Structure formats: structure tokens, C-alpha cells
Structure 1
């Protein structure tokens, strides 16, 4: 009889708490933000122009880091909506980042991020896939796999909080952090 009471309590608790879930319906701007993504991706020159026109810090298009006594800029890698594969222009950015990171002897953390669309669980998994895609590209370009760790922030680490396609595009990214 005591077991029945415990099971009833557990079932009631599960039913009452449920899962946190967001509305995943989107407007056309969120799904069709490829033109916005193209603006963020560019061919490297667009990101360079953004770097020159904006004050750059760790919450924008990348981070500055000291590697082998030199200040270098490691660009963020951006992804299309609901994707974790690298576009050709983002593959070039990972190649450039790998060249800069080849002189670094410490550990590298790749952080995967998502926009706000989808459940927390889905975005956590997608962020991890994005981080892994960047890690795989860095390894293919000569960075030791043992020196790279992955983390997913899902949607919890936005660089932009406006409710529009341009902002969501900025949040679909992977970033690099250098660890001692």
C-alpha cells in the first residue's frame, strides 16, 4: 500500500510539472533568413568590415586572443537556421582560425550556441552538434583533437535579444575560448 502511494505521488508530480517547451512556430523571416546569414557570413571581407565599424569584444563576431605574443582575432562561426553543417564561407573561417590557433599550446574550448527557436533540450543538442562541426574542421586543419573541448550553451548565451531574423542569425554560432 505504501508503494502505491509513492508511485501515485511520483506520477502526479511528473504530470503537474511537465516539460518546459517554447512555441516553435515561426514567421517567414525566421525560416528564410538566408539573406541575413549571407550578410553575416560574407566572404570574410564582410566580417572584416563589421570588425572595423564596430567595437569588437567577446560578445560580437569573435574574440581577440594573445597567441605566441601576438594579438589575433578568432572569428565566430555562424550557422543557418536548424543546421550544424559548415557553409563554404564558414569553412574558410574555421581554416583561418586553425592557422591562428596552430601556434597555441594550450586547450581550446569550442562553444556552440543557438537562437531561441525550439525547446531547450533541442537547442542544447544542436549547439553541441555545431561545436563538434567546428572541432572536426579544426582537427582536419591540423589542431590536435585532445586539445579541444566542447560545450553547448543552447539558447542561453545570446549576443542579441531582439525579436527579429537578423538577431536570431547572430545567435546561431560557435565561438572559441582559449584555456590555460
Structure 2
């Protein structure tokens, strides 16, 4: 009986001592195989991507993405949405990613495209950061396949820490399962 309580105490201690990262940034070559969540978290890039969005090119934000001035034209770079617990792109989202790539192909050469992976509130912090990273990486890989320079794209995961909707319903959770594109210097 005493062993059971000691084991229970040890298990509880292990479960409650873990800590999560609030932002995971990764920069990796697209030629590598897709990373699993564990290996992706082990390849964290400590270099900072400035969060300063290019002020003169950001026109406005919308519910579906961000409007940027690209080559003198106002372009909507749409968010990519994912299913519950998914990081693969649906046919519809592949088309959105292809449209985004064609618009982003003409940004200035010193501009970084920051792809941010986000999740809904379901799951642990660690799981959601890994899932957000996978979502951002699959969008990056799609942009690279559509002609965007791999070195111009950085990925970051916000997990569940960056919601656009805080209501407790499925429509709201769907809005939070997204990948956003930001143009930064």
C-alpha cells in the first residue's frame, strides 16, 4: 500500500513539473523530411524574427487574413485553416496557399514571410505548440513548392496562445485553427 502512494506521488510530481514554451521558432531546409513534433521541438532556432510588420506595406487586417501593398497593388494574403487535430491541407486550402504564393512571389527580396501556426484550446500546451509548428511547416513547404524562396520564409508556432476568437463553440475554435502570413523585415 505504501509503494502505491509513493508511485502516485512520483507520477504526480513528474506530471506537474513540466513547462511549456510560449513561442517556438524554426528555420529548416525544405529538402529534409517533415519533422515530427518531438524532433521539431529539438531543432528550435534561437535567432529572433522581428515581430515588426512592415508598416508601409500592411494596409489592414481582415477576418480572413491581411491586406498588404505588394507592387503597388492591395493584396489579401489569406489565412490557411485546418481541421480539428489536423495539419494537412485540404484541397480548398491548397488553392488558397497557391494564391498566396503567387501574390507573395513579388515581395521585396529583403522581406521575410513569417508563417505563424495557431491552434484551438483543445490539447495540452506542448501538444498545441507542436501542432502549430507542423501547420506552419506544411504551409511553408507548400509556398516553397509554389516558387517562394525557402530562405525568405520563417515559421513560428503560437500554439493556443494567439486566439482570434474566445467563445466556447466550434465556429470559434475553427477560426483559431489557422496559419497566418506576416511580412516582416
Root-mean-square deviation over aligned CA pairs: 2.4
- Report SS of the residue matched to 2:144: helix
Q: Which residue of 2 aligns with 1:87?
A: 90
Mapped pair 1:120 → 2:125: yes
Larger Rg: 1
Matched-pair contact (CA < 8 Å) for 1:114–1:123? yes
Q: Which residue of 2 aligns with 1:131?
A: 136
Matched-pair contact (CA < 8 Å) for 2:60–2:68? no
Q: Distance in 2 between matches of 1:57 and 1:123?
A: 28
Give unpaired runs (5+ residues) of structure 2. Answer: 1-9, 21-58
How does the TM-score come out when normalised to structure 2?
0.68
Q: Which residue of 1 aligns with 2:23?
A: none
Q: Within 5 Å, give how 1:161-176 maps onto structure 2.
A: 161-176=166-181
**Which one has the bigger helix percentage?**
1
Number of matched residues? Answer: 136
- Report SS of the residue matched to 1:58: strand
1:59 CA displacement: 6.1
Give unpaired runs (5+ residues) of structure 1. Answer: 1-10, 22-55
- Report SS of the residue matched to 2:74: strand
1:67 CA displacement: 1.0
1:19 CA displacement: 4.1
